[in-house]
A and B are shown apart, each in its own frame.
Chain A
């Protein structure tokens, strides 16, 4: 694509012109760099706000891999000492699961409906409070009003009146096989700004379990 060159510059290559252009180009480049510097200055001078104080969840050891048996739940408090959770090895890969088979999960033990403590129900078993119901997969069954939470799929509601899934505890396994709770996923634990997705509320209203 050549629109023919116009005789803009009459081959004027006097040293004066060349110097002028050299200076112009260098100055121009410096101005561009200055422009980029402006954004660096602006970004780094953002004033910190209260909400930028990042919420830190404690890192708490819950169990060792060797302690666990399939379908035997372990109850523990996290992140506050009045917030019960249930940890269980399911025997099959689950969403958000940790461990060598990706089957260890933990959820808040408080039902999202009205805050009752529910229990883990292995596949094929029935809860004592309702022998008519048989768990078709690994679930949490709430005896108060029959909410069923699917432990294989992030605690989503399978049945019952609970309006939202139970929050999942974020777990981490270190190289020596110790399982730690390191955070809570959304939604918030029942009673802590219930229904919100801002899990910083889980840290308010009690004493945090100390980091181990």
Chain B
């Protein structure tokens, strides 16, 4: 019935999606147990949540497992997406799987967003209010639709009830339907090839789903489950205070960690006031691009080694998300000056591009080498990119060194500035050494520069 699986797929990276589903099942079980006691009305939401925490047997444990598994589910879904991106699962014939997967990703984020409001604490209500405000700031066609779904004409009571309905009935149903669809498509297409493109015959041996591969999934699920249990024990949850407008006024709202990167972008100074719609449109555009990836990345190449640009873009995306989220965590409620934002976002992109293209360059000359007679000159493509990356990286490193030095002279030394200075000097040294290496490689007997110079000399001789 279900098609067997090649042995190279019995590897945790192929099961990140399955683990996301396992997390979802845990959410369902803990959620259903809590539903026995939770009441979704503004007066009783906090009361009933507190009741679960304090009176219900294992209530606090249930809440902790539910929260941490929610975070794990979002993290796993993200890792699943990025792994798929790097392995080229979005290419033919699996384009629809990518799109369905992206929708499932949105549904998962929706779970996080709707669930966060339910305890009706200061933290959760303020963060949700910010989120609703952002939805309102979207272009009218989208915001009307979302406001209708999520808030309606009523006030807090309607909002809470709709969020609860979404969280407990609508989103799970949608997710299950999409999951069935994805499983069906998986049956049609089978497991994708590994990213290195190199698979030995032995590793292609097929293994039946039942019982062998199912057991592997259960093993992974059991280890994952234990991890969630242990995290819930080591870091048991505490309930923040109940929402009241007075308390909320003293509180800086922060979205949950998986939205922090979006929030950080919105906090950049140029997006103040009317600029908010611009920022949200940009973020929406990014999501649309991700959605339509199968139609943007159309090349047939699947191996990592053949996709330098997209792999670099993927790495930049992940790095930016991490940097922005962490930055958002340490600057709650603060507006970010545009220059700082440009430096951080641009700098991260440049560093990653530099490292990535540099790695590709080294690999190009290693793997594409035809003869083994010593190192060869880099191809024009590689040389051009390397020069570009080195030039920008060098400019950045020099600029940063100068900036940090001036800062230290003017404002005095502290650990953070010392660290910045040391790292920018290291980067500068790296750039200089890499440039030297690049020039050396180009200057080899068959190097492009030498050849051109010899050609020019020949031309000059012949014209005499």
A residues with a Cβ closer than 8 A to B are 25, 29, 32, 36, 39-40, 42-46, 49, 51-52, 54-55, 57, 95-100, 102, 153-156, 164-165, 168, 170-174, 182-187, 197, 199-200
Tell whether, in the assembled complex, residue A183 and residue B249 are in contact, meaning their CB atoms are under 8 Å apart: no
Is residue B273 contacting chain A, with contact meaning CB distance below 8 A? no
Question: Which of B51, B242, B245, B246 meets A96, CB within 8 Å?
Answer: B245
A98 proximity list for chain B (CB < 8 A): 153-155
7 contacts between A and B (CB under 8 A): A39-B58, A40-B33, A154-B245, A154-B249, A173-B158, A185-B42, A185-B43
Tell whether, in the assembled complex, residue B245 and residue A172 are in contact, meaning their CB atoms are under 8 Å apart: no
Is residue B156 contacting chain A, with contact meaning CB distance below 8 A? yes
| Complex-state Cα separation, A46 to B34, whole angstroms | 12
Question: Which of A32, A52, A182, A200 meets B55, CB within 8 Å?
Answer: A52
A100 proximity list for chain B (CB < 8 A): 153
A164 proximity list for chain B (CB < 8 A): 246
Question: Which of A46, A155, A170, A187 meets B43, CB within 8 Å?
Answer: A170
A52 proximity list for chain B (CB < 8 A): 37, 51, 55
Known contacts: A51-B51, A155-B245, A197-B244. The answer to whether A170 contacts B57 by CB under 8 A is no
B218 proximity list for chain A (CB < 8 A): 29
Tell whether, in the assembled complex, residue A54 and residue B249 are in contact, meaning their CB atoms are under 8 Å apart: no
Tell whether, in the assembled complex, residue A43 and residue B43 are in contact, meaning their CB atoms are under 8 Å apart: no
| Complex-state Cα separation, A104 to B156, whole angstroms | 12
Tell whether, in the assembled complex, residue B153 and residue A173 are in contact, meaning their CB atoms are under 8 Å apart: yes
A97 proximity list for chain B (CB < 8 A): 155
Tell whether, in the assembled complex, residue B249 and residue A199 are in contact, meaning their CB atoms are under 8 Å apart: no
Tell whether, in the assembled complex, residue B245 and residue A43 are in contact, meaning their CB atoms are under 8 Å apart: no
Question: Which of B47, B56, B59, B222 meets A54, CB within 8 Å?
Answer: B47
Is residue B36 contacting chain A, with contact meaning CB distance below 8 A? yes
B222 proximity list for chain A (CB < 8 A): 32
Tell whether, in the assembled complex, residue A36 and residue B29 are in contact, meaning their CB atoms are under 8 Å apart: yes
B29 proximity list for chain A (CB < 8 A): 36
Tell whether, in the assembled complex, residue A25 and residue B62 are in contact, meaning their CB atoms are under 8 Å apart: no
B residues with a Cβ closer than 8 A to A are 29, 33, 36-37, 39, 41-44, 47-48, 51, 55-59, 61-62, 153-158, 215, 218, 222, 242, 244-246, 248-249
Shortest A33–chain B CB gap in Å is 11
Question: Which of A29, A32, A183, A185 meets B245, CB within 8 Å?
Answer: A185
Interface centre among A49, A100, A185 (most CB of B within 10 A): A185
Tell whether, in the assembled complex, residue B158 and residue A186 are in contact, meaning their CB atoms are under 8 Å apart: no
Tell whether, in the assembled complex, residue B153 and residue A55 are in contact, meaning their CB atoms are under 8 Å apart: no
Tell whether, in the assembled complex, residue A96 and residue B156 are in contact, meaning their CB atoms are under 8 Å apart: yes
Shortest A176–chain B CB gap in Å is 11
Shortest B245–chain A CB gap in Å is 3
| Complex-state Cα separation, A173 to B152, whole angstroms | 9
Tell whether, in the assembled complex, residue B42 and residue A170 are in contact, meaning their CB atoms are under 8 Å apart: yes
Tell whether, in the assembled complex, residue A168 and residue B245 are in contact, meaning their CB atoms are under 8 Å apart: yes
Tell whether, in the assembled complex, residue B245 and residue A165 are in contact, meaning their CB atoms are under 8 Å apart: yes
B41 proximity list for chain A (CB < 8 A): 182-183
Tell whether, in the assembled complex, residue B244 and residue A185 are in contact, meaning their CB atoms are under 8 Å apart: yes
Closest to B42 in A: A170
Closest to A156 in B: B246
| Complex-state Cα separation, A100 to B29, whole angstroms | 38
| Complex-state Cα separation, A100 to B144, whole angstroms | 12
Tell whether, in the assembled complex, residue B245 and residue A156 are in contact, meaning their CB atoms are under 8 Å apart: yes
Tell whether, in the assembled complex, residue A43 and residue B51 are in contact, meaning their CB atoms are under 8 Å apart: no
Question: Which of B36, B39, B47, B156 meets A44, CB within 8 Å?
Answer: B36
| Complex-state Cα separation, A102 to B44, whole angstroms | 23
Known contacts: A170-B157, A185-B42. The answer to whether A42 contacts B58 by CB under 8 A is yes
